[in-house]
Amino acid sequence: MTARTSPEASRDIPEATVARLPVYLRALTSLVEAGTRTCSSEELAGAAGVNSAKLRKDLSYLGSYGTRGVGYDVDYLRYQIAREIGVEQDWPVVIVGIGNLGHALANFSGFRSRGFRVVALLDADPSRHDEVVAGIDVRPFADLEAIVREHGVAIGVIATPAVAAQDVADRMVGCGITSILNFAPTVLSVPTGVDVRKVDLSIELQILAYHEQRKAQGEATPATTGPGDPAHHELVREETA
Amino acid sequence: MTARTSPEASRDIPEATVARLPVYLRALTSLVEAGTRTCSSEELAGAAGVNSAKLRKDLSYLGSYGTRGVGYDVDYLRYQIAREIGVEQDWPVVIVGIGNLGHALANFSGFRSRGFRVVALLDADPSRHDEVVAGIDVRPFADLEAIVREHGVAIGVIATPAVAAQDVADRMVGCGITSILNFAPTVLSVPTGVDVRKVDLSIELQILAYHEQRKAQGEATPATTGPGDPAHHELVREETA
DNA sequence: GCCGGTTTGTTCTCCCGTTCACAAACTCCT
DNA sequence: AGGAGTTTGTGAACGGGAGAACAAACCGGC
Ligand SMILES: NC(=O)c1ccc[n+]([C@@H]2O[C@H](COP(=O)([O-])OP(=O)(O)OC[C@H]3O[C@@H](n4cnc5c(N)ncnc54)[C@H](O)[C@@H]3O)[C@@H](O)[C@H]2O)c1
Ligand SMILES: NC(=O)c1ccc[n+]([C@@H]2O[C@H](COP(=O)([O-])OP(=O)(O)OC[C@H]3O[C@@H](n4cnc5c(N)ncnc54)[C@H](O)[C@@H]3O)[C@@H](O)[C@H]2O)c1
């Protein structure tokens, strides 16, 4: 998709692997804190909740950082993964929408410890502008561009209501932000080159509900709720009309 | 995995499709509210941010609910998807860990409107037990079993610190909860038959950081930070020792 | 120096998911 | 009634990821 400029560029890592590297990183950090020096793919895979073959294949995309017959140097591997992900340096981040969720995010200590630094909290509501959350004062949304330029922000977090999310995203993109984490339940439309990831509580719960319904189906009373399809079809159309 | 008991059981839906159905459901709800009666796969796919062929194939797993040459009856399709997911009736949910995040979740209005009902907020900290959040009073974690039995809760949300998450999950499973949404950054181990989904802010940000680093790599100064591998290898080992 | 035991890195195969492309089916207009 | 135009549902090709299995590489003991 993007041009390969650097000749020494590391082979591109499959998306599925990229999504697991942070899990490995976390497991390795735990091991480091526990004083472990070395671990096998089997141990690490257990801690990360994945298959050991998958783990080894994932790590092989980064390079050959293990030692056959021994395993991996925990701290060395942790560093290599952190470097590959890009969280050795801190990424400045802005959070927009300091409501219920925005407060929780601002207070979330995991940001700093995992390679991110909240440089600003923004909200459109003037009544919030005198507030200080987690040591950072909430500023007007209009300050976005100045802040992004000042700190070189590339990553933005959206925690506004759904109706405002697209506007906020547009403004972010206009300022030069190229990665967005969206908590609002909306599909964002952004130009090519901008990455969007969404965190959607309702979707996660509904996926659980689907499987839950499936589990219940086997043991429930014979006539659960829904009869054949055609009758329901009519019923629903009546509701509409 | 589970036995097919019902003869009329609908064919099992691919996991990737299940994960998209809630997105379609949301898009359809928007269309209903906008007064739209009918829509084509192209329109709906646009609203959901997916390929129209994918949308059609996804919907085909549910049945043939469209009309060729016309499209889909918005309200009818919305009902069918909601029924398939299982969010026509409300699912009782408990939230454990009423800290920063737990407060936000408790105040989240999207629960009720999307098929879920928070029946209890639980926390181990006694100083929180006199608190009322979003009209629900925070109760001792020890009440979990009684509440689960009383309301027939099948879905639990974990918003405790990571160290407590596995204990909470074990207790939940012990009470009969079979679906867990985990916000704590830990790998949970649960018996077969229990579904766990995780929402992990740090992982999402780190995935964005990886791609962001990739984007920057092409245009950055020649010597970014890291030299060849061997030297760094030593450096890191020194840090450890 | 060599051998048994251990663990990685990689190859191979299979399966799931995505996308293309098109026949079948429906509506509307004449 | 018939034909032109539209849109669904699905068969088939394709690509990527998961897991099994194994050869290569390393350690430690003798
Ligand atoms: N609270 C949760 O646990 C939770 C969970 C999942 C998803 N969400 C989603 O996250 C979003 C925020 O939820 P919340 O509970 O914090 O809502 P909230 O109403 O408490 O907070 C929203 C904040 O965004 C601000 N805002 C509105 N428009 C803005 C704009 N154009 N620019 C900048 N700021 C703006 C508001 O002033 C407010 O402070 C919602 O989309 C919600 O659906 C929340
Ligand atoms: N705050 C965020 O935005 C955010 C974002 C992503 C992930 N998380 C994760 O979500 C979790 C909660 O975050 P937080 O900021 O709300 O933390 P917090 O410390 O504010 O709240 C944790 C709550 O859990 C309670 N608790 C602790 N042990 C318990 C137990 N055994 N049983 C029941 N309750 C118990 C505590 O009393 C406290 O009220 C953490 O694991 C955090 O890493 C938080």
For residue A12, what pLDDT band results from cuts at 50, 70 and 90? confident
**Phi-psi category of A178—alpha, beta or left, where left has phi over 0 and alpha has psi -120 to 50?**
alpha
The ligand minimizing its distance to the Cα of B101 is 2
Give the mean pLDDT of A1-25: 73
For the stretch B197-217, pLDDT in tens is 999 999 999 999 999 999 987
The answer to whether the CB of B96 falls within 8 A of the CB of B144 is yes
Q: B15-85 in CATH: which number?
A: 1.10.10.10
Are A208 and B197 an interchain contact pair (Cβ–Cβ within 8 Å)? Answer: yes
Rounded to a whole number of angstroms, the distance from the CA of B63 to the nearest CA of chain A is 10
**Which of A29-38, A137-146, A189-198, A214-223 shows the lowest per-residue confidence on average (mean pLDDT)?**
A214-223
The vertex-A202 CA angle with B44 and A119, nearest 5°, equals 100
Length A60 CA → D26 C1' (Å): 17
Domain edges within chain B = 15-85, 91-201
pLDDT top residue among A28 and B234: A28
What pLDDT, on the 0 to 100 scale, is given for residue A108? 95
Q: b/e string for A200-213 if b means 16 or more Cβ within 10 A?
A: bbbbbbbbbbbbbb
Q: Does residue A114 lie within 7 Å of nucleic acid chain D, judged by its CB?
A: no
Helix (H) or strand (E) holding A198: strand A195-198
DSSP 8-state secondary structure symbol assigned to residue B37: -
pLDDT top residue among A231 and A28: A28
What pLDDT, on the 0 to 100 scale, is given for residue B12? 87
Cβ under 8 Å to B: A residues 126-165:
154-155
Q: Is B110 near chain A, with CB under 8 Å?
A: yes
pLDDT top residue among B220 and A217: A217
The answer to whether residue B101 scores a pLDDT higher than 60 is: yes
Question: Is the whole model's pTM more than 0.75, yes or no?
Answer: yes
Give the mean pLDDT of A26-50: 96
The answer to whether the CB of A148 falls within 8 A of the CB of A168 is no
The answer to whether residue B52 scores a pLDDT higher than 60 is: yes
The answer to whether residue A166 scores a pLDDT higher than 60 is: yes
pLDDT top residue among A6 and B66: B66
What pLDDT, on the 0 to 100 scale, is given for residue B46? 96
What pLDDT, on the 0 to 100 scale, is given for residue A217? 78
Closest alpha carbon to C1' of D21, residue: A53
Are A85 and B209 an interchain contact pair (Cβ–Cβ within 8 Å)? Answer: yes
Closest alpha carbon to C1' of C9, residue: A60
The answer to whether residue B1 scores a pLDDT higher than 90 is: no
Residue B202's CB: how many other CB atoms inside 10 A?
A: 20
Mean pLDDT of chain A: 88
What pLDDT, on the 0 to 100 scale, is given for residue A10? 58
- Closest nt by CA–C1' to A38: C7
What pLDDT, on the 0 to 100 scale, is given for residue A11? 66
Same fold, A15-85 and A91-201: no
Give the mean pLDDT of A173-185: 98
The answer to whether residue B239 scores a pLDDT higher than 50 is: no
Cβ–ligand 2 distance for B181 under 6 Å, the answer: no
pLDDT > 90: percent of chain B: 83
For residue A34, what pLDDT band results from cuts at 50, 70 and 90? very high
The answer to whether the CB of A115 falls within 8 A of the CB of A91 is yes
Give the mean pLDDT of A52-80: 97
Q: How far is the CA of B109 from the centre of ligand 1 (A)?
A: 11
The answer to whether residue A117 scores a pLDDT higher than 50 is: yes
**Which of A194-203, A232-241, B4-13 shows the lowest per-residue confidence on average (mean pLDDT)?**
A232-241
Question: Taking all atoms of strand C, which protein residues have CB closer than 7 Å?
Answer: A 40-42, 52-53, 56-57, 59-60, 64-72; B 14-17, 50-51, 53-54, 56-57, 67-70
pLDDT top residue among A130 and A68: A68
Q: Which residue of B has its CA nearest to A215?
A: B2
Give the homologous superfamily in CATH for domain A91-201.
NAD(P)-binding Rossmann-like Domain (3.40.50.720)
- Strand-pair partners of B28: none
Give the mean pLDDT of A205-211: 98
What string of DSSP letters covers B146-201?
Answer: HHHHHHT--EEEE-S-HHHHHHHHHHHHHHT--EEEE-SSS-----TT-EEEE--H
For residue A220, what pLDDT band results from cuts at 50, 70 and 90? low
Closest alpha carbon to C1' of D24, residue: A68
The ligand minimizing its distance to the Cα of A121 is 1
